[in-house]
Each structure stands twice: as C-alpha cells, then as structure tokens.
Structure 1
Amino acid sequence: MQVLFLLRRCCKHSNTPSLYKLPAAVILACSDSSVVLVISKLSPEQAAYHFLAGYQNGKFILAFNSGPSCFNPLELSKALLAKLKDTSITPLLININDGDKHITGKDLVEVVESALSKNISFFQVPTKR
C-alpha cells in the first residue's frame, strides 16, 4: 500500500497571518484488488493506521520519496493523528484498483471532488442505542 501525505504547516497561536491554508483532505491511496471500496471516509485513528501501512519491509517509504525516510514512522503517524483531531481535515482512503484497471488522473480527481462536496454517501456502521 502506498500512502500519499500532504499536511501544510499553519501558525495556530501566532498573530501573524498564515501563508498556507490547511488542506481540505488527506488522501491515502491503496491498490487493493480484493473487497476494499473505491473510496472510504476514515476516522483520524484509521487514517493514522493506514499511514503506517507505508512502512514496508523494515523501511518507511513515503509516496513522494523513493527511499526510506529518516523520520520515525510512528512519530509521523502520531503527528498526523493529532493534526486530524485538531482540525476539520477529512481523511479519505481511495482504492485506485478498479478491477482490471487503475483509476487515474481525471477519474481520481472526480472521486475526490465528489467526496469533498458530499455528492456521495459514505457507508456508516449502525450504532446500537
């Protein structure tokens, strides 16, 4: 599983205006040919878990980096979890494997835009009352 990670820095406790805006979503991408849905909205804890799934064969491989990272993957995952809990950033898991083909380019952008505009409904596990 490859993980895409984007988190922009924001000065939360500063009077100076931030040069960056927080992203609308953190996109975690996987290529699974089994029963993983095309798109899933994750809890912050699930996003942190899937982020750690980028840790393969004893090396942490970020999607934008071809080699191992010098950062501790558990600490990165904890930082992601804290940021997701403190903000309204939506974590999404997108399965780019659609049967015999991969979702790419325009189709991938459409899936993300649909999810962020709430034009699709996410599966919700019923809660007992």
Structure 2
Amino acid sequence: VAGHPENIIFLTCDAFGVLPPVSKLTPEQASYHFISGYTAKVAGTEMGVTEPQATFSACFGAAFMMWHPNKYAELLAEKIKEHKATAWLVNTGWTGGAHGVGSRMSLKYTRAMIDAIHHNDFDKVEFTTDEEFGFQIPLSCPNVPSEILIPKNTWEDKEQYQVVKKKLVGLFNENFKKFAANVNTKIVEAGPKADFSLQS
C-alpha cells in the first residue's frame, strides 16, 4: 500500500558495547544479521533477568517463522537489491564499555541517527569499514558527537575492547553454525571474521 522502503533498520541492544550505534550493511550483511537476530535480554523486560544477556533469535522472531531462516534472508537480499534500499544496523545498547562499565546509548543520539538515515544525511559523509564485522560506520552524524560513532573510541581500556569484541564475534560465529549448511555462501561470508590481533 505504501510502496517499498528506502531504508531498512534493524534495532539491536548490544550489552557488550562493541557494536557501533549505527552502521550500513550490504544486502548480504543484512541477510546475515537478519538470520542472526542478535540482541540482549535486559533487566525489566523478562522475569529473572537481572543483567543483560546476549541472545539470538533468527529473523528477530524465530518462534513465528514457518520456513528455514535462509528463505527469508534470501528474499530480503533480493528485495533490497531490486528496490535499491539501504539496510542499517542501529545499536541502542551500551557505549564506553560493556554492561557494568559503560552506559546505555543516549536516546537523543539514537533518534538523531534515525533522523539522519531518513533524511539521507549519511549520503554526504565518509565511512570507515569495521575490520571484523565488515560493515560501514559513518564518521559523522548531525547532532551526534563523532567520537561515539566508533565504539573503540569510547572505551578507556582499548585492549579490553578488543578482548570483548573477539568474544562477541565468537558468539556470532557459534550461533551461525546451525544455519551455515543451508545458507547461501555469500551470506555466510558476510559474517564477522574471528581472526584478529589484540592491538590497542
């Protein structure tokens, strides 16, 4: 009824504090993150949860999916390419460190990033590629301090950032093993890479 979207936005809450607050995904990366469905259970949303816990739910709603997640993921990538939509991953989770060290991303900044996506403000800015996840991170955003766009910049302990990031990459890779055999190779390859040095 409303036509096809120009932007597709996945929301996640990263309790590890290593995913950027906003990043641009290729169609294959969008499919990978769609299949992964990564977020965190946080206190106040579920009984018995007192601190954030990483969780994966295929297509962000595994219990409601009738087909194998790959079918939905391939359809998503196909639609993104056909209608020239841009996929984004927006992290409303922690910044400056993991839970217990950092703090939640400011809602004011998240709103500014969503506005920037809808106003095509990122068309005019430079991006950098995340070495492990491979997605594109904008280096500036209207009404958002540029230093919070690159998670590592917000951590006081840069070595610990790399350690925690490696842990999250491992969680992604371990979760995806159950899908890999039935998923398009390009989508599997769009996932994060586990081999990286612990440089500060």
TM-score band by shorter chain is: 0.5 to 0.7
SS in 2 for 1:41: strand
Letter in 2 for 1:39: V
Q: Unaligned 5+ residue runs, structure 1?
A: 1-18
Match of 1:70 in 2: 66
* Percent of pairs with identical residues: 24
CA distance in 2, matches of 1:73, 1:38: 25
CA distance in 2, matches of 1:117, 1:53: 28
Q: TM-score, normalised by structure 1?
A: 0.64
Q: Unaligned 5+ residue runs, structure 2?
A: 39-54, 96-102, 130-200
Does 1:20 find its partner at 2:23?
A: no
CA distance in 2, matches of 1:21, 1:103: 32
- Structure-2 change in CA distance of 1:72 and 1:110 (3 Å): same
CA distance in 1, matches of 2:90, 2:22: 4
Residue by residue over 1:49-77, the C-alpha shift from the partner in whole angstroms, topping out at 9 and shown as x without a partner, is: 110112867x63635x8x34223211000
- Offset at 1:107? 4.5
Give the alignment partner of residue 123 of structure 1, picking from 124, 127, 133. Answer: 127
Residue by residue over 1:30-51, the C-alpha shift from the partner in whole angstroms, topping out at 9 and shown as x without a partner, is: 2223322110011111111110
Instruction: Name which structure has the greater RCO, CA cutoff 8 Å, separation 6+.
Output: 1
Q: Is the 8 A contact 2:5 2:85 kept in 1?
A: yes
- Structure-2 change in CA distance of 1:21 and 1:82 (3 Å): same
Match of 1:101 in 2: 104
Give the alignment partner of residue 81 of structure 1, picking from 77, 84, 87. Answer: 77
For the aligned residues, what is the CA RMSD? Answer: 2.7
Q: Which has the higher helix share?
A: 2
CA distance in 2, matches of 1:34, 1:97: 7
Q: How many residues are treated as equivalent by the alignment?
A: 103
Give the alignment partner of residue 49 of structure 1, picking from 28, 32, 50. Answer: 32
Q: TM-score, normalised by structure 2?
A: 0.44
Q: Is the 8 A contact 1:42 1:93 kept in 2?
A: yes
Letter in 2 for 1:86: E
Letter in 2 for 1:69: M
